[in-house]
Amino acid sequence: MSLLESILLGILQGFTEFLPVSSSGHLVLAQHFWGIEQPGISFEIIVHLGSLVAVLLYFHKTILELVGSAFKIFSKNKSRHDINNLKIIAYLFIATIATAVLGLAFKDKFEAIYQMPLVVAIALSVTGVIIFFSDKIPNGELEDNNIGIMKSILIGVGQAIAIIPGISRSGTTIATSLFCKMKREHAARFSFLLSIPAIMGAAILDLRNFEAIESTLLVKYLAGAAAAFVSGFVVIAFLIRLIQNRKLKYFAYYCWVISLVSIAFILF
């Protein structure tokens, strides 16, 4: 994999990480059709870290507020705002545990799909169905500080399913949140915040493989991560507006087209 290919894949990952079209699915198909040597799961995790930085930067005020409230967990002088923030932290934690349990249980099976572009292409069509019907769900009344334990688990399960390349993480978590009657703006924010421990956890699990990466290859990986950061940061605000305006269905059409074209080329 050349430096230019790494940057192009990073840009592709950054744009598709937050749009509900599956960044991992796009990476697998791009590598397959562009004839790029498979860089492996470590490359995807590193470029995901670039996207993670974009989330941290975009939501830095919210994150700092959550951290500040966390330090007041045992304080008797907590404000209502602090209490709401602590609830959000608890629900994010519960959803993350649900993701981790399923992710670890099926990790090997999910990772094997990275070598199956046909399965990934089919999974993209499933993503299209998920996000198409998410636009049909009316705006709910629940805020992300009041969703409860069971709905947190359900959202976490949705995120775990999206470990399958071709299934969109943002698409499934946002759709599940909307199904749980969350307000659209809160569903988007909860999905972005939930990506933080998910990406960090995947990176920690893959630390052993990072040590084996050659220095020359690491430079290319980091270039891809930088490209993912820039493109990901640009996309976040754009997606939030689309969710609020119920215009995700256009990404469903996109997923179906890419899926069908990819399946046709792979088979014929």
pLDDT by residue, tens only, the chain of 268 residues: 778 888 888 888 788 877 888 888 888 888 888 776 655 556 777 887 888 899 899 999 999 999 999 999 988 888 999 999 999 999 999 999 999 999 888 877 877 888 899 999 999 999 999 999 988 888 888 999 999 999 999 999 999 998 898 999 889 999 999 999 999 889 989 998 998 888 887 777 666 665 566 666 778 888 888 998 998 888 887 888 888 777 888 899 999 999 999 999 999 8
In whole angstroms, how far apart are CA 83 and each of 1, 185, 194?
49, 20, 19
Angle, vertex CA 60, rays to CA 131 and CA 199, nearest 5: 55
Task: Output DSSP code: residue 147.
Answer: -
What does the pLDDT look like over 120-155, one tens digit per residue? 999 999 999 999 998 888 888 899 999 999 999 999
Dihedral sign (CA 221, 225, 226, 227): positive
3-state secondary structure of 182: strand
3-state secondary structure of 228: helix
Distance from the Cα of residue 6 to its chain's centroid: 20
Residue whose tokens read 């744009």:
15
Q: What pTM, to 2 d.p., does this model score?
A: 0.84
Burial class (CB in 10 A: 0-12, 13-18, 19+), 166: buried
**What confidence score (pLDDT) does residue 245 get?**
79
Q: Is 181 left (phi over 0), alpha (psi -120 to 50) or beta?
A: left
Phi, psi of 20, deg, nearest 5 = -80, 60
- In whole angstroms, give the CA distance from residue 220 to residue 79: 47
**What confidence score (pLDDT) does residue 62 get?**
93
The answer to whether the CB of 162 falls within 8 A of the CB of 208 is no
Dihedral sign (CA 18, 20, 25, 30): negative
- In whole angstroms, give the CA distance from residue 172 to residue 178: 10
**What confidence score (pLDDT) does residue 215 get?**
67
